A = this chain, B = another copy of it.
Amino acid sequence: MNTHTRLPKKSLKSTPDTVTTGPIAGSRKVYAAPASHPAMRVPLREIALSDPGESPVRVYDSSGPYTDGDASIDLRQGLPLVRQAWIAARGFAEVAGRAVRPEDNGHVGADHLVAPCPARRTLQAGQPGQRVTQYEFARAGLITEEMVYVAHRENLGREAALAGARERQADGESFGAAIPDFVTPEFVRDEIARGRAIIPANINHPELEPVAIGRNFLVKVNANIGNSALSSGVAEEVEKLVWAIRWGADTVMDLSTGRNIHNIRSWILRNSPVPIGTVPIYQALEKVGGDPVKLDWDVFKDTLIEQAEQGVDYFTIHAGVRLAHVPLTASRVTGIVSRGGSIMARWCLAHHRESFLYERFADICDIMRRYDVSFSLGDGLRPGSIADANDAAQFAELETLGELTRIAWDKGCQVMIEGPGHVPMHKIKHNMDKQLATCGEAPFYTLGPLTTDIAPGYDHITSGIGAAMIGWFGTAMLCYVTPKEHLGLPDRDDVKTGVITYKIAAHAADLAKGHPAAKLRDDALSRARFDFRWEDQFNLSLDPDTARAFHDATLPKDVHKVAHFCSMCGPKFCSMQITQELRKEAKALEAEALAGMAEKAREFREGGGALYVPAAE
Contact = CB atoms under 8 A, between A and B. Distances in A.
Interface string A573-617: 101101111110111011001000000000000000000000000
Given A349-B586, A461-B504, A468-B465, A454 B522 contact: yes
Contacts of A413: none
A370 to B, nearest CB: 30
Nearest to A503: B455
A418 to B, nearest CB: 15
Contact of A457 (B461, B487, B550): B550
B586 A511 contact: no
B537 A456 contact: yes
A91 interface: no
Nearest to A587: B330
Given A346-B581, A454-B521, A465 B464 contact: yes
A508 B457 contact: no
Contacts of A575: 336-339, 341-343
A157 interface: no
Contacts of A538: 456
A90 interface: no
A329 interface: yes
Contacts of A488: 550-551, 553-555, 566-568
Contacts of A172: 424, 426
B578 A336 contact: yes
Nearest to A170: B424
A557 to B, nearest CB: 13
Contacts of A505: 465
Interface in A435-474: 451-458, 460-462, 464-465, 468-469, 472
A526 to B, nearest CB: 4
A332 to B, nearest CB: 8
Interface stretch (A1-9, A80-88, A358-366): A1-9
A523 interface: yes
B593 A335 contact: no
Interface string A244-283: 0000000000000000000000000000000000000000
A215 to B, nearest CB: 15
Contact of A511 (B424, B487, B519, B530): B424
B543 A457 contact: yes
Interface stretch (A30-38, A138-146, A381-389, A395-403): A381-389
A165 interface: no
A604 to B, nearest CB: 20
Contacts of A454: 504, 507, 521-522, 525, 540-542
Interface in A504-539: 504-505, 507-509, 511-514, 519, 521-523, 525-527, 529-530, 537-538
Contacts of A527: 333
Nearest to A505: B465
A290 B422 CA distance: 51
A554 B139 CA distance: 49
A429 B336 CA distance: 35
Contacts of A221: none
A326 interface: yes
A58 to B, nearest CB: 14
A454 B517 CA distance: 14
B387 A335 contact: no
Contacts of A513: 426
Nearest to A333: B526
A121 B513 CA distance: 55
Contacts of A386: 511, 519, 522-523, 526
A385 B489 contact: no
Nearest to A336: B579
Contacts of A514: 426
Nearest to A59: B454
A75 interface: no
B8 A425 contact: no
A78 interface: no
A542 B468 contact: no
A422 B529 CA distance: 13
Nearest to A543: B457
Given A512-B424, A538-B456, A526 B489 contact: no
Contacts of A582: 326, 329, 335-336, 342, 345-346, 349
Closest 10 CB pairs of A and B: A4-B568, A335-B579, A488-B554, A385-B526, A425-B512, A342-B575, A457-B546, A451-B508, A327-B590, A453-B522
29 contacts: A4-B569, A5-B568, A172-B424, A333-B523, A335-B576, A336-B578, A337-B576, A342-B579, A345-B579, A346-B581, A346-B582, A386-B522, A424-B508, A424-B512, A426-B514, A451-B468, A451-B511, A452-B504, A453-B522, A454-B507, A454-B525, A455-B543, A457-B546, A458-B543, A461-B461, A464-B465, A465-B508, A483-B550, A488-B555
Given A386-B523, A425-B468, 13 more contacts: A4-B569, A172-B424, A327-B586, A337-B579, A345-B582, A386-B511, A386-B519, A451-B511, A453-B529, A454-B522, A454-B541, A456-B547, A461-B464
